[in-house]
Amino acid sequence: MPNHVELLCIGNELLIGKTLNTNAWWLAKRITALGLEVKRITVVGDNIEEIVKALKEALRRKPKILITTGGLGPTFDDKTLEGIARALNQKLEINQDAYKMIEEKYRSYVRDGKIDKFELTPYRIKMAKLPEKGEPLPNPIGTAPGILLKHGNTYIVALPGVPPEMEAIFNESVAPLVREKAKGVTFYEMSIHVNGIVESEIAPLIDKAMHDNPYVYIKSHPKSAEKKLHIEIHFSTTAKDANIAKKRISRTLIQISELIQAKGGKVKVPKKAI
Amino acid sequence: MPNHVELLCIGNELLIGKTLNTNAWWLAKRITALGLEVKRITVVGDNIEEIVKALKEALRRKPKILITTGGLGPTFDDKTLEGIARALNQKLEINQDAYKMIEEKYRSYVRDGKIDKFELTPYRIKMAKLPEKGEPLPNPIGTAPGILLKHGNTYIVALPGVPPEMEAIFNESVAPLVREKAKGVTFYEMSIHVNGIVESEIAPLIDKAMHDNPYVYIKSHPKSAEKKLHIEIHFSTTAKDANIAKKRISRTLIQISELIQAKGGKVKVPKKAI
């Protein structure tokens, strides 16, 4: 049974390099920490055909959870909900719960003096038009609600693109779902920093340590060009028990540190590893 | 004839949220400025099946250029070249030019005292094993060369994941190819900043301005939650002539600024727009 997550980030601003995709980074970090594996991230523009194609492709890979970001707002190029409806062959219709959420937001904006008069224009009602089987997820700090729906064995979650809104909805409504699907498995990681040795000399040492410690994944990250000789070595594992995870990583980390020192490299080990 | 670019970023660090994908951002910005359209960005892990699948899918969409980042180094999880070879049904074999580049790098590391003795270990030779039709692109600041090969009408470019190396190879060997394929078309953009009006009030104004200015794309970016009322409005167009592009954007920008002011919004226009 696949148990992975996919992210689909929607927005021209990501494809023209106007906006750095911090949403994908934030979500990947949070989801990994909560115990599920993010297997693929896709970015497409505000183009309905591209969105539908990317959604259908992702669904064929049967992720446990498929999270989209962006495209939920009131403008013409907010097309995510239409894309989900088309990809799933569902109608797009006004959802009463979403309608009430949006109505209440605009009433509060009148009270706060942000807008002059209360009015639900077609642009505002658009945000309440969900794929028929979708349910809205409250947006604690913005207007457009998130959306949750289940299709086959996949949960589809649509989050807004504005980072604080995306994070707030994730924390409130999506994190519990991710934690539940992770079934108690958690991700653990640690790094050491190495100087005075090139990556190609470390490569066989990683092979040896990974052979001896099959549950630990080790990856070297040269922090600049190889000749600068500063390399981070990152250790990660997933486990249900924090002590087991910590022991696995510590053992591997000590082994590789000794191997590197024997080759003349200098190693900086974090205090928590010892 | 499709004339778009796709990016495929390879690395577990991107999927666990350890590393922010600044490579995709930098490449998207550069390629857009050089006149081509980036249509999709995909991120997969250091997993040979995932890499091969993502490459084949991207090639079926027939981009003019497909750029990969990451996975060119000496360690076991640097799998991009094997992935390209498998996706294209090509053999992976030592390329004499790449071999010479790598040999010269390690000789220079000996001269600089970075390594003790010159030796081409299997881990170092790995970086010279290219898909049989590939040619190496010199890496001015690191060890692993980039790779260029043509498959059908698609140029496949493999760049390293270390940002300064990726950027250096792109600037030296890939930017001229992108510029040539863009055929003189260039991308122009400008933004105004708006306060005191919510996004749903701006939405119909954008519709009107885009209807009147069909060559200009307009996108609103709320800088925080909608109720905070600070919105960037971004205008972009592509054209062969800078004056035409500038006039198009200025006209649209002035029209929408007047519409927003009529609705009680405050507009900050950059000096260069007037």
Contact A115, A87 (CB under 8 A): no
> Is the dihedral angle over the CA atoms A182, A183, A184, A190 positive or is it negative?
negative
pLDDT reading at B225 higher than 60: no
Closest CB from A26, A198, A217 relative to B115:
A198
Q: What is the pLDDT of residues A180-217, one digit of tens each?
A: 999 989 899 999 999 999 999 999 999 999 999 999 99
Question: What pLDDT was estimated at residue A273?
Answer: 66
> Is the dihedral angle over the CA atoms B54, B57, B61, B66 positive or is it negative?
positive
> Which residues is A130 bridged to in the sheet?
A93
- Of chain B, the percentage scoring pLDDT greater than 70 comes to 97
CATH class of A186-273: alpha beta
Interface list for B 21-80 with A (CB within 8 A): 21-22, 24-33, 37-46, 50, 54, 57, 73-77
Confidence of residue A243 (pLDDT cuts 50, 70, 90): very high
pLDDT reading at B86 higher than 80: yes
What ipTM score was computed for the predicted complex, to two decimals? 0.94
Contact A191, A233 (CB under 8 A): yes
Contact B72, B80 (CB under 8 A): yes
Radius of gyration for the alpha carbons in chain B, expressed in angstroms and rounded:
23
B93 Cβ under 8 Å from any chain A Cβ: no
Instruction: Say how many C-beta atoms besides its own lie within 10 A of residue A61's C-beta.
Output: 15
Task: Calculate how close chain B gets to A116, using CA atoms only, in Å.
Answer: 10
CB contact under 8 A, B40 and A21: no
- Is A274 buried (19+), middle (13-18) or exposed (0-12) by CB count in 10 A? exposed
Distance from C-alpha of A187 to C-alpha of B16, rounded to nearest angstrom: 9
Distance from C-alpha of A230 to C-alpha of B92, rounded to nearest angstrom: 30
pLDDT reading at A140 higher than 90: yes
Task: Calculate how close chain A gets to B198, using CA atoms only, in Å.
Answer: 7
Tell me the pTM.
Answer: 0.95
pLDDT reading at A271 higher than 80: no
In B129-263, beta strands by DSSP E: 129-131, 135-137, 146-151, 154-159, 186-195, 217-222, 230-239
**A187 vs B contacts (CB less than 8 Å):** 16
Task: Calculate how close chain B gets to A89, using CA atoms only, in Å.
Answer: 23
Third-level CATH fold of A4-182: Molybdenum Cofactor Biosythetic Enzyme; Chain A (3.40.980)
Residue with tokens 């009030």: B201
Interface list for A 236-255 with B (CB within 8 A): 236
A225 Cβ under 8 Å from any chain B Cβ: yes
pLDDT reading at A175 higher than 70: yes
Per-chain mean pLDDT for chain A: 94
Closest CB from A29, A162, A203 relative to B17:
A29
A187 Cβ under 8 Å from any chain B Cβ: yes
B97 Cβ under 8 Å from any chain A Cβ: no
Domain boundaries, given as residue ranges, for chain B: 4-182, 186-273
Nearest 5 degrees, angle CA A238-CA A242-CA A246? 80
